[in-house]
Structure 1
Amino acid sequence: MNKMFAFGLCVQLLSASTIYACPEGSVAQQYLSAIETMNWSKMESMLADDAVYTDPTMIYFDSDPIHRVGPPSIAGFWRSGSEESGTSKISYTTTQCFETAGYFVVNLDINVRVAGAYWNVDKDWISLPGKVLSIIRVTDGKVKEHHDYVEYSAAETTVSELQRKYGVLETK
């Protein structure tokens, strides 16, 4: 391995491991806060006109990767997804965040409170844990890119456990 590359990698890993939250007041932090509080209009206002949102990890559910362009499409996707799933709360814990060349790389532990029926669980509300790696590019004070990489297996395991505990809803 190239010694300079190895040194640079060590420096990045060491510095990243000591930073746990996006800088207070940063655009990235405000943007993630808008998502966490489900303030879709604020989220939309923070996006550049040509902003892009992607989540290629939806293939986990045999779904097409998510790719949205423009504030109305991106915020609309998040809004409709939360309404469809009966999401009543999104909680993030930032485990790492570092900024490099206009990109914020953020590791998040998440917990989402959704309607049990959405996941076929016979319970009004369920909480699903997960981990997300978000890469957010900020230019000129606006979010230009947001790429999510979601580890869905924890949520799927939780759903299976909740279905065993509370029962599976009858499909019509």
Structure 2
Amino acid sequence: MPLKFNVTTETLAKLKHFLILDDHTGVFHWIRQPNRQIAIGDRAGSQAKNGYRIISFSGKHFYEHRLIWLWIKGSIPEKKVVDHINGNPSDNRLENLRLISQSRNTQNIVRSKKRAGPDGIHLPQGVYWLASKGKFVSCIKLDYKKRHLGTFESIEDAHAAYLSAKSEFHPASNIERLI
């Protein structure tokens, strides 16, 4: 985590004089003006290109989801990260946040790059087109290594194999996002 995104106890205490958290929506609002451009009542922060909300204060930047966790829970243990259960990085309601290891957090990633198979057909995550054999291949990453799950005649069978392996080997993942 870049140093500029770390939140010290002192900074959090200062922020509590400037922000109020709606813990039902996971949204911060300014209750004091940190500068002239911000009005009291404005939603704090902005959404970055990657979908995460970032709050700037005293020349430093903070991820909103980490601030919410610290605000309510008090700490983030070493070697843990705050994960968005539903995969939406701007949904910062506490019930959508959880602490998990970085390796488990990567299990919850959904590939954003679209890939196409034969005739431009969209290939779901975990499925590849093997043109030399005219078949679909299913793979999953385990311990940072690609594991071959099988070669299949149909996209549906290859994807079913991937989803089955994903639910078995990646317990932190949100399978519903992949169906």
| TM-score, normalization by structure 1 | 0.27
More helix, by proportion? 1
| TM-score, normalization by structure 2 | 0.27
Q: Which has the larger radius of gyration?
A: 2
More strand, by proportion? 1
